[in-house]
Amino acid sequence: MAEMTIAPVATHGFFVDGRWQQDGDLIEIRAPYDGNLIGRITQGRKEHAEAAIAAAVKAFGTTRRLPAFERQRVLRQVSAFMTERKEEFARTLAQEAGKPIKAARIEVEVPSSRLAGIYRRTLGYRPPFPPRPHRRHHSI
């Protein structure tokens, strides 16, 4: 028997410069396979996009001066957060995209794994790669 991928209908805003925003047009998200309402989101406007860009520029100015151990701490926290909520993310993705829950779970694993890999590389870890074969070009 197939697993159920139903999650409660919720309304979500968006995060800009440390604050949740709710002012914008409300958009309904419907399942592609049956049209059921699965969520509502607030769609940002031009001024929200401009504020997000300004906040990103400001944040980059701060984070680029952080010592490596602080950037590592942030990467660990984001990766842990994504891992803790991976089932919720997978179920939402399965509903929104109409894909099987197993495929959604795999897709959700990728960003968390990448962040963990970036964190390990900041510690100096380099994955072992086989040497590239030497290529010889022959001309006739």
With respect to residue 79, please indicate whether it lies within any of the assigned structural domains. yes
- Please tell me which residue, 137 or 51, carries the higher pLDDT value: 51
Shared-domain flag, residues 47 and 97: no
Asked whether residue 1 carries a pLDDT value surpassing 50, the answer given is no
Shared-domain flag, residues 76 and 105: yes
With respect to residue 133, please indicate whether it lies within any of the assigned structural domains. no
* 82: enclosing H helix or E strand: helix 68-84
* CA–CA separation, 45 and 71 (whole Å): 31
Q: pLDDT-based confidence at 131, cuts 50/70/90?
A: low
Full residue range of the structural domain in which residue 47 is found: 7-65
Total number of domains in the chain: 2
- pLDDT, position 132: 60
- Please count the CA atoms within 13 angstroms of the CA of 13 that sit on its side-chain side: 10
Shared-domain flag, residues 58 and 44: yes
What residues have CB less than 8 Å from 139, skipping those under 6 apart?
A: none
pLDDT, tens only, 37-94: 988 999 999 999 999 999 999 999 988 898 888 888 888 888 889 889 999 999 988 9
With respect to residue 128, please indicate whether it lies within any of the assigned structural domains. no
Q: DSSP states of 46-72 as a string?
A: HHHHHHHHHHHHHHHHHHTTS-HHHHH
Shared-domain flag, residues 60 and 79: no
Shared-domain flag, residues 70 and 114: yes
User: From the centroid of its chain, how far is CA 70?
Assistant: 20
pTM of structure = 0.64
Cite the beta strand spans of 1-140 per DSSP E: 11-12, 14-16, 19-21, 25-30, 37-43
Shared-domain flag, residues 70 and 86: yes
Lowest mean pLDDT among 6-10, 54-58, 94-98: 6-10
Asked whether residue 118 carries a pLDDT value surpassing 90, the answer given is no
Shared-domain flag, residues 80 and 118: yes
Lowest mean pLDDT among 6-10, 72-76, 99-103: 6-10
Shared-domain flag, residues 60 and 70: no
